[in-house]
Amino acid sequence: MPSIARTLASLVFVALIASNAPALAKDEQLQIDPQHSSLTVYVSKQGIFAFAADNHVVNAPLTSGAFDPATKSIELKIDAAQMRVLDPSMAPDRRAQVQANMVSSQVLDVQKYPQITFQSTKTQATSPGKLTVTGDLTLHGQTRSVTVDVDEIDAKHYKGRVTIRQTDFGITPIRIAAGTVKVKDELRIEFDIELK
């Protein structure tokens, strides 16, 4: 009987540990370090007179996020109003106009849609140090599934890239000069993430 009692006690202990596993895994999440992480959006032009227009580089600072090493799942949050057009070679007044257009109701509409989020749904290792991460990107009030290519530099450092279409999120690319110059629908996004 003592042996049976010990066996039952062991089973109860294992069951308790198993029931707490999700909570333990959640506690092991690592927070993203916004100060040492970056997300950059590359905006290109197209059209007959695209050569006379500017391409743009936009900084989209991460406000928060977390990474679960066990499941390789990640969540990211960006304050859309904090996104900034960099373009150091552009005249300040022209850069300010591009910035105003970007945050206006024509494009991001940051007053109505202040936050951009990404929540991964699936992670797959494609080769040593490389991952394919599928997840839900919410932008401009619309959520779409996107697939991101990620390079695992080390356990706390990840770089990656993804291309999205503005029209998939209800954004009409801006046109100027009677449509002879317009912003490309595709945006290239690159990120460099450090974990705390």
Confidence of residue 72 (pLDDT cuts 50, 70, 90): confident
Please, which residues bridge with residue 163 across strands? 188
Instruction: Print the domain residue range for 166.
Output: 29-194
Q: Does residue 17 form part of some domain?
A: no
Q: Does residue 148 form part of some domain?
A: yes
Number of domains in the chain: 1
CATH code of the domain in which 98 resides? 2.40.128.110
Q: Does residue 38 form part of some domain?
A: yes
132-171 residue pLDDT tens: 999 999 999 999 999 999 999 998 999 999 999 999 999 9
Distances 22 to 11, 16, 68, 121, 137 between C-alpha atoms, Å: 19, 12, 11, 16, 24
pLDDT (mean) for 13-41: 67
Secondary-structure breakdown of the chain: helix, strand, coil percentages, each rounded to the nearest 5: 25, 50, 25
Q: Does residue 81 form part of some domain?
A: yes
Q: Does residue 22 form part of some domain?
A: no
Q: Does residue 190 form part of some domain?
A: yes
Separation CA 194–CA 155 (nearest Å): 9
Separation CA 97–CA 5 (nearest Å): 76
CA-based end-to-end distance of the chain:
51
